[in-house]
Amino acid sequence: MPGFVDIHVHGGGGADYMDGTLEAVRTAGRTHLRHGATTVFPTTTTGSPAQIQRMLDACAAVRAAWTPADGARIAGVHLYGPYFAAKKVGCHAVEGRRDPSASEYENYFRQGIVRIATCAAELPNAGAFYRAARRRGCLVTCGHSNATWSEMALAYKAGMRHVDHFWCAMSSVDSLRAAYGTPMQAGMEQFVLAREEMSTEVIADGEHLSQELLEFAYRMKGPRRLCLVTDANRALEMPPGRYRFGPIEDGSWIQSNGRVGLAPGAGLASSVVALDTMVRNMKKMTTASLAEVVRMASLTPAERAGIADQVGSLEAGKLADIVLLDRQLRVRRVFVGGEEVTVGRDLSCGGVKPDQSATP
Q: What is the DSSP letter of 53?
A: H
- Each domain of the chain, given as residue ranges in start order, spans 4-341
The tens digit of pLDDT for each residue in 140-196 reads 999 999 999 999 999 999 999 999 999 999 999 999 999 999 999 999 999 999 999
At residue 352, the pLDDT reads 60
Q: Is pLDDT at 355 greater than 80 in this prediction?
A: no
Q: Are 296 and 226 in contact (CB under 8 A)?
A: yes
Give which of 145, 115, 152 is closest to 133, Cα–Cα.
115
Query: Cα torsion for 168, 165, 49, 39, to the nearest 10°?
Result: 150
Those residues whose C-beta lies under 8 Å from the C-beta of residue 356, and which sit 6 or more positions away, are 241
Mean pLDDT of 208-217: 98
The whole-angstrom separation of Cα 48 and Cα 50 is 5
Q: Are 276 and 290 in contact (CB under 8 A)?
A: no
pLDDT category at 264 given cuts 50, 70, 90 is confident
At residue 348, the pLDDT reads 37
**Which amino acid does the sequence have at 150?**
S
Mean pLDDT of 21-40: 98
Q: What is the CA radius of gyration of the chain?
A: 19
Mean pLDDT of 5-25: 98
The tens digit of pLDDT for each residue in 158-173 reads 999 999 999 999 999 9
H or E, element range at 212: helix 211-221
pLDDT category at 129 given cuts 50, 70, 90 is very high
The tens digit of pLDDT for each residue in 51-77 reads 999 999 999 999 999 999 999 999 999
**Domain at 4-341, CATH from 3.20.20.140, 2.30.30.110, 3.20.10.10, 3.20.20.60:** 3.20.20.140
The pTM (predicted TM-score) of the whole model is 0.95
The whole-angstrom separation of Cα 103 and Cα 311 is 33
The whole-angstrom separation of Cα 196 and Cα 221 is 8
Q: Are 345 and 13 in contact (CB under 8 A)?
A: yes
